């Protein structure tokens, strides 16, 4: 891999995400973007609706399982500084890097996404050229038990800009979302509750009536598709316990410099 100085890191987060994605493609590194910047990149040509624009604090990426060493070499070649101790301990699952010049963090997941719930990727990681699929972008936002403002804004942006369908590409793949929720009661409980809660947040954004109704109809379509999906035996057994037992994890935030 070629070496590049920290001077190559762009100040604009969206431009930097595009740069990294381009370098990854040239170096044949399988690397896909998650999070708010990914949602911004998937917006239509005219950009996000102003109501959903926000500042971005960091970049979140994911690489396939077993590709930690390759990811480490790649990010260091681009001028990013590793959090050495963290990467030595947790590097098989997660890596942390820092852009010292712009005081930013880069988080690299290895294999699966796991916070309040685990979102498996498998072969779907390579479906899209730059970001993870829209279904996973929405899942990773709405699997959080306690949504914050940026998660609400990002989830609404996805549903504002993209239809709900049965395939990937420029649609949220409801069939895939429904399949994951049908096999995991905990994920189902959190995701559907958050999806329903989104409607209650809409009035805060003062959207045109047509935009608001578009989002509401897509929320309803996704909820209906999840409801129709046959539930697994494990889902049904866990549903009998319900909320008497905690159904989510409480991940710790990792901060700090190298």
Q: What was the pLDDT predicted at 6?
A: 42
Beta bridge partners of 82: 97
Average pLDDT of the residues in 20-48? 95
Pick 1-111's CATH classification: 3.30.460.40, 3.30.1360.120, 3.50.50.60, 3.20.20.140: 3.30.460.40
Taking the mean position of all CA atoms in its chain, how far away is CA 163? 18
Confidence of residue 257 (pLDDT cuts 50, 70, 90): very low
Considering the chain, what is the average pLDDT of its residues?
A: 93
CB distance 187 to 234 below 8 Å:
no
pLDDT in tens, 193-216: 999 999 999 999 999 999 999 999
What are the tens digits of pLDDT across the range 47-94? Answer: 899 999 999 989 999 999 999 999 999 999 999 999 999 999 999 999
How many CB atoms are closer than 10 A to CB 195? Answer: 21
Average pLDDT, stretch 186-197? 97
- What's the confidence (pLDDT) of residue 253? 58
Q: What are phi and psi of 83, to 5 degrees?
A: -85, 95
Any idea what the Cα angle at residue 187 is, between residues 49 and 232, rounded to 5°? 130
DSSP assignment letter at 7: G
Q: How far apart are CA 239 and CA 183, in angstroms?
A: 11
The C-alpha angle 71, 72, 78, rounded to 5 degrees, equals 90
* Mean pLDDT, residues 148-173: 97
**Is the pTM above the cut of 0.85?**
yes
pLDDT of 179? 98
In DSSP terms, 178 is beta-bridged to: none
- Residue spans per domain, the chain: 1-111, 114-250
pLDDT at 255: 52
């Amino acid at each position: 891999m070629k070496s590049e100085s920290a001077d190559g890191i762009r100040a604009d987060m969206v431009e930097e995400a595009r740069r990294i994605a381009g370098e990854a493609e040239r170096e044949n590194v399988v690397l896909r973007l998650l999070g708010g910047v990914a949602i911004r990149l998937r917006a239509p040509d005219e950009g996000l609706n102003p109501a959903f624009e926000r500042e971005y604090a960091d970049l979140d990426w994911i690489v396939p399982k077993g590709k930690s060493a390759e990811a480490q070499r790649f990010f260091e070649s681009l001028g990013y500084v590793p959090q050495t101790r963290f990467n030595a301990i947790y590097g098989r699952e997660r890596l942390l890097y820092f852009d010292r010049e712009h005081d930013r963090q880069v988080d690299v997941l290895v294999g699966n996404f796991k916070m309040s719930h685990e979102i498996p990727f498998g072969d779907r990681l390579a479906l899209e050229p730059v970001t993870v699929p829209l279904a996973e972008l929405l899942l990773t936002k709405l699997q959080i038990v306690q949504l914050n403002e940026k998660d609400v804004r990002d989830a609404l942006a996805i549903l504002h800009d993209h239809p709900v369908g049965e395939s990937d590409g420029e649609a949220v793949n409801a069939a895939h979302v429904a399949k994951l929720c049908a096999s995991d009661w905990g994920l189902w409980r959190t995701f559907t509750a958050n999806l329903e809660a989104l409607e209650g947040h809409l009035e805060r954004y003062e959207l045109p009536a047509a935009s608001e109704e578009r989002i509401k109809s897509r929320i309803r379509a996704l909820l209906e598709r999840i409801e129709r999906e046959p539930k697994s035996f494990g889902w049904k057994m866990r549903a009998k316990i319900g909320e008497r037992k905690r159904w989510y994890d409480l991940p710790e935030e990792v901060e700090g410099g190298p």
